[in-house]
């Protein structure tokens, strides 16, 4: 499985290096948007790398090659899911380096230091978005999933808008709940929810991939 993850890294080496420039760009774009910068940047970077990896695999007919080898399909699927966190880790390291450099050269950009809430939010958002996309990719392949990907973005956009409205309309109830629950309980609940959704997505992807013919 480790070799499969290395394969993705090798295929994406130029894109991974270029992602450092994307992080700088996103920091400039999001600096006055009013949204939390770190989760937004991590979602953008990890999702871009996952999509790029799927595109390279489609271009190189990697599925045909991998399925001709004695590699269980469960490992192929698991490697793709684990690569999400490899890309997230890479993005976090580059983010911290860029923020430190901005601070050293005193650029007029105000960036909040990385907090535990930001990290948990990034893990949840990255897991959620990729857990939606990957089952579609393993079911239909890259070309068809690219078309469906447009609808995923629309769904997330409108879902986010409705989510903001929900929080505004129910801020008193949510404030009461947050006071009753400790930060640890809230963080643990979010992590468990992300993990459950992630595992469900993995098993759905595995079922789809096992039923595909190459």
pLDDT tens track for 66-97: 888 888 999 999 999 999 999 999 989 988 88
What is the C-alpha to C-alpha distance for residues 15 and 28, in angstroms, rounded to an integer? 20
Residue ranges of domains in the chain: 2-211
Residue pLDDT, tens place only, 25-43: 877 776 665 556 788 788 8
Give residue 183's region: left, alpha or beta (phi > 0; psi -120 to 50). Answer: alpha
Residue 178 has a pLDDT of 53
Residue 100 has a pLDDT of 83
Share of the chain above pLDDT 90, in %: 21
Give residue 128's region: left, alpha or beta (phi > 0; psi -120 to 50). Answer: alpha
Q: Do 145 and 137 contact (CB within 8 A), yes or no? A: yes
Residue 168 has a pLDDT of 42
Q: Average pLDDT, stretch 188-198?
A: 87
What is the C-alpha to C-alpha distance for residues 169 and 75, in angstroms, rounded to an integer? 44
- pLDDT above 50 (res 106): yes
119 vs 111, more confident: 119
Dihedral angle, C-alpha 178, 179, 180, 182, nearest 10 °: 70
Q: Average pLDDT, stretch 43-47?
A: 86
What is the C-alpha to C-alpha distance for residues 131 and 87, in angstroms, rounded to an integer? 14
Q: Average pLDDT, stretch 167-180?
A: 50
What is the C-alpha to C-alpha distance for residues 113 and 119, in angstroms, rounded to an integer? 11
């Amino acid at each position: 499985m480790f070799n499969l993850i290395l394969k993705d890294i090798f295929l994406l080496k130029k894109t991974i290096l270029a992602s450092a420039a994307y992080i700088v760009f996103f920091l400039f774009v999001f600096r006055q948007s009013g949204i939390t910068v770190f989760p937004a940047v991590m979602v953008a970077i990890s999702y871009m790398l996952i999509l790029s990896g799927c595109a390279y695999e489609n271009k190189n007919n990697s599925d045909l090659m991998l399925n001709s080898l004695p590699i269980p399909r469960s490992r192929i699927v698991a490697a793709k899911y684990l690569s999400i966190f490899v890309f997230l880790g890479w993005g976090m390291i580059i983010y911290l380096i860029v923020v430190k450099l901005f601070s050293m050269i005193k650029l007029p950009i105000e960036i909040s230091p990385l907090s535990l809430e930001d990290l948990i939010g990034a893990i949840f958002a990255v897991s959620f978005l990729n857990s939606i996309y990957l089952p579609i990719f393993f079911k239909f392949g890259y070309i068809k999933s690219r078309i469906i990907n447009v609808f995923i973005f629309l769904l997330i956009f409108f879902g986010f808008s409705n989510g903001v409205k929900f929080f505004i309309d129910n801020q008193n109830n949510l404030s009461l709940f947050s006071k009753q629950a400790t930060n640890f309980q809230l963080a643990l609940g979010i992590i468990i929810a992300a993990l459950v959704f992630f595992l469900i997505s993995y098993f759905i992807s595995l079922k789809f991939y096992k039923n595909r013919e190459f």
